[in-house]
């Protein structure tokens, strides 16, 4: 529809219709992954998902370069309209097929296999037992633990608010991603070459993102695997603030793009830090993602045309945002370290809804309640 719209009202309507499903896609996908993978498997799987976003910056620029250069006026249609037609057709094709390929939650497979009929009953039980073994509790909401109940729990948890503010600041600091082709144009080349130059940093960032997440899963560490890449972005900003040399600024842009390797683990850490009940985890992911995207909104006003080609003001604002985000991430790390120290005593017993989840975990794993309770006691947050 964007490709055929003729006025501002039509364009605005199309953007709203695009934004509504897009708003729920990433947090929903993250929540779905958290229902299948353990805390030491989730980061790498999420990185593969996030790699799609990073690759879109690379191939989007390359596709745009080719389409804008070769499709102008074809069949009487402007090149920018062809861009929406082609990219939209690919998205629709993938989306329709995904409806039949993506599985339901592991906890719902026993009663309603739906689109995972290729799983045997043993496979479905194993999928649930793996997640239960991860925390010592079944990954299910008990009677009375509604979505509203989960929302209330998430709002009351101070970690959720800190995660939300940290994500807002992070996305403001990384808002250059939406303007990356504009930044490469400041290197002094024509439009086509500028779009081509925008691709390599994102291709490298995709590889680094997956390797970083794989190592984070192997080590169980979160803080440095997230903030370390932001510090690289800060170095990139400092280089770009210091010179207009073409090579130096391109190196700075590469460092800036690599910052997305840390960004891809933010919601992973939310899922790790708020594992049960699932309704609370879902609400926490949604809150952090929705509030965090205010950073993207603010970022759209940071990279002003009148500040080009240096963009010094933009980089200073973004640099300060990443410093704040790093500080909040450190605060979260210290909070989780403190919580881990008190977990052994807190999780020695289980009552109410927690007890029901432990009993369910024991059934799934074929162990006694006391053995499941012992596993629950051994659970620790990743930081």
Looking up residue 292, the CATH number of its domain turns out to be 1.20.1250.20
- Token pair recorded at residue 273: 């830090």
| 285 plus 364 within the same structural domain | no
| 166 plus 258 within the same structural domain | yes
Give the C-alpha separation, 136 to 293, whole Å.
33
In a domain, 207, yes or no: yes
Range of the domain at 125: 121-141+352-383
In a domain, 116, yes or no: no
In a domain, 30, yes or no: no
In a domain, 52, yes or no: no
Q: How many domains does the chain contain in total?
A: 2
- Token pair recorded at residue 241: 């603030």
SS3 of residue 206 by DSSP: helix
In a domain, 84, yes or no: no
pLDDT tens profile 266-294:
999 999 998 878 889 999 999 999 999 99
Strands (E), the chain: none
Q: Is the per-residue pLDDT at 248 higher than 70?
A: yes
User: What percent of the chain stands above pLDDT 90?
Assistant: 44
Query: Any idea what DSSP says for residue 141?
Result: P
Burial class (CB in 10 A: 0-12, 13-18, 19+), 262: buried
Give the C-alpha separation, 70 to 81, whole Å.
13
| 182 plus 308 within the same structural domain | yes
Rg of the chain (C-alpha set)? 23
| 173 plus 238 within the same structural domain | yes
In a domain, 364, yes or no: yes
Contact 209, 264 (CB under 8 A): yes
| 290 plus 367 within the same structural domain | no
pLDDT tens profile 156-215:
999 999 999 999 999 999 999 989 988 999 998 888 888 889 889 999 999 999 999 999
Mean pLDDT of 302-331: 96
| 210 plus 332 within the same structural domain | yes
Core vs surface per residue 197-221: b (16+ CB within 10 A) or e: bbbebbbbbbebbbebbeebbeeee
Nearest to 381 by CA among 345, 335, 348, 350: 335
| 370 plus 342 within the same structural domain | no
In the prediction, which pLDDT does 220 show?
92
| 212 plus 295 within the same structural domain | yes
- Token pair recorded at residue 130: 């793996």
- Token pair recorded at residue 250: 């391109």
Nearest to 222 by CA among 58, 42, 374: 42
| 215 plus 240 within the same structural domain | yes
Q: Is the per-residue pLDDT at 108 higher than 80?
A: no
**What is the residue-wise DSSP string for 177-230?**
GGGHHHHHHTTS--HHHHHHHTHHHHHHHHHHHHHHHHHHHHHT--HHHHHHHH
Highest mean pLDDT among 61-75, 88-102, 237-251: 237-251
Q: Is the per-residue pLDDT at 19 higher than 90?
A: no
Give the C-alpha separation, 128 to 366, whole Å.
12
| 294 plus 161 within the same structural domain | yes
In a domain, 69, yes or no: no
- Token pair recorded at residue 9: 């009202």
In a domain, 99, yes or no: no
Query: Any idea what DSSP says for residue 245?
Result: -
| 227 plus 260 within the same structural domain | yes
* Sign of CA pseudo-dihedral 351, 356, 361, 366: positive
Nearest to 188 by CA among 60, 309, 67, 305: 309
Q: Give the distance from CA 238 to its chain's centroid.
A: 26
Contact 334, 223 (CB under 8 A): no
In the prediction, which pLDDT does 349 show?
55
| 327 plus 369 within the same structural domain | no
């Amino acid at each position: 529809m964007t490709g055929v719209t003729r006025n501002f009202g039509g364009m605005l309507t199309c953007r709203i219709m695009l934004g509504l499903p897009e708003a729920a896609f990433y947090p929903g996908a993250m929540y779905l992954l958290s229902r299948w993978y353990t805390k030491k498997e989730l980061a790498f799987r999420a990185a593969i998902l996030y790699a799609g976003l990073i690759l879109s910056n690379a191939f989007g620029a390359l596709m745009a370069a080719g389409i804008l250069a070769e499709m102008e006026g074809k069949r009487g249609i402007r090149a920018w309209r062809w861009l929406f037609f082609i990219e939209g057709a690919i998205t629709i094709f993938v989306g329709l097929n995904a409806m039949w390929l993506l599985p339901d939650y592991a906890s719902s497979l026993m009663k309603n296999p739906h689109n995972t009929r290729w799983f045997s009953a043993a496979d479905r039980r194993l999928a649930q037992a793996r997640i239960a073994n991860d925390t010592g509790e079944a990954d299910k909401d008990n009677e009375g633990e509604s979505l509203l109940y989960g929302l209330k729990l998430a709002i009351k948890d101070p970690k959720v608010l800190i995660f939300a503010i940290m994500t807002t600041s992070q996305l403001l600091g990384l808002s250059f991603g939406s303007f990356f082709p504009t930044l490469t144009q400041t290197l002094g080349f024509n439009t086509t070459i500028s779009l081509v130059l925008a691709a390599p940093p994102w291709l490298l960032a995709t590889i680094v993102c997956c390797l970083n997440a794989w190592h984070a899963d192997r080590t169980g560490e979160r803080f440095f695997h997230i903030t370390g890449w932001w510090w690289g972005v800060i170095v990139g900003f400092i280089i770009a603030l210091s010179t207009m040399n073409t090579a130096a600024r391109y190196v700075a842009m590469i460092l800036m793009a690599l910052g997305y390797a840390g960004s891809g683990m933010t919601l992973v850490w939310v899922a790790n830090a708020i594992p049960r009940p699932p309704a609370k985890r879902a609400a926490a992911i949604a809150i952090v993602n929705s509030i965090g995207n205010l950073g993207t909104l603010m970022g759209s006003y940071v990279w002003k045309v009148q500040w080009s080609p240096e963009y010094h003001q933009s980089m200073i604002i973004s640099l300060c945002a990443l410093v704040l985000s790093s500080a909040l991430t450190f605060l979260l790390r210290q909070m989780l370290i403190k919580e881990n120290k008190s977990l052994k005593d807190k999780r020695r017993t289980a009552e109410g809804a927690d007890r029901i989840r432990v009993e369910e975990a024991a059934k799934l794993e074929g162990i006694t309640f006391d053995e499941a309770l012992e596993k629950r006691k051994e659970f620790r947050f990743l930081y």
